[in-house]
Amino acid sequence: MKLLLLLSGNKDRLLTSHNLESADFDVIKLDEKELAKPLKMIRLIKSKRWDAIYFGTIENILQRFHFLMKLYILFSYPKQGSIIDESGNEEKYLLSEFLFFQCPKAFFEIIYSMFVIVYYYIKLPIIRCHYVKKH
């Protein structure tokens, strides 16, 4: 049995677009916000020995938190899975890709985010001063 964590979209459309059999899947509907709760997520994916973990979305490129999804696949028993969408796109979990691409990217994202936050912490009050005084 495989697990489909349905973040968005329609279960049947998702499975059909990837030629997957509905009978092979346990489907759990999941809100995107739940991905930010690691303990709950790990408990969920370890609650049963599934053969693979799939995350289903309407459109992969418009879905956030790919890093977290792949991290949860890493923590699952089979360490196999994908992020799939209704258009037939699939982003497979590969340990090497996760370690050598996703992890450095996530690290860079954190550094870049810190820069962005500081940059706008300086910039926004300047613009605000201009407008709030003027109006």
Partner 1 sequence: MSLRKEALKGLFWRSDFYGASTEGGMASMHLGLLTGFIKLGHTPVFASSGRMRLPDVVNYYFIPYSKLLMNLPEVLNLPYNRKVSKSLIKIIEKEKPDFLYQHHADLNYSGTILKRKLGLPFILQCESVQYWVKKNWGKLYLKHHLKWAEEIQWAAADAIFVVSDNVKKMMVELGVDEKKIYVNRSSVNPDVFSPEIDGSEIRKKLDIESNFVIGFSGSFAQWHGVEVLAQAVKYISKLIPKAKILFIGDGLLRPKIESIIKNDNVEKSCILTGLVPFNEMPDYLAACDVLVTPCVRTGEGSEFFNSPIKLYEYLSMGKPVVATDIGEQGEVIQHLTNGMLCSEQSPEDLAESINYIYKNPDFAETIAANARKTVLDKYDWKLNAQKVIEIYHQIINKKRGK
The residues that touch partner 1, with contacts defined as CB under 8 A, are 8-9, 29, 31-32, 36, 57-59, 61-68, 85, 105-106, 108-110, 112-113, 116-117, 119-121, 124-125, 127-128, 131-132, 134-135
Closest alpha carbon to 14 in 69, 71, 55, 61: 55
C-alpha neighbours within 13 Å on the C-beta side of residue 122: 5
Name the minimum Å distance from CB 23 to partner 1.
20
C-alpha neighbours within 13 Å on the C-beta side of residue 35: 20
The nearer residue to partner 1, 99 or 116, going by C-beta atoms, is 116
The nearer residue to partner 1, 96 or 121, going by C-beta atoms, is 121
For residues 128 and 92, is the Cβ–Cβ distance under 8 A? no
* Ramachandran class of 104: left when φ > 0, alpha when ψ lies in -120 to 50, beta otherwise: alpha
Name the minimum Å distance from CB 100 to partner 1.
17
Name the minimum Å distance from CB 77 to partner 1.
24
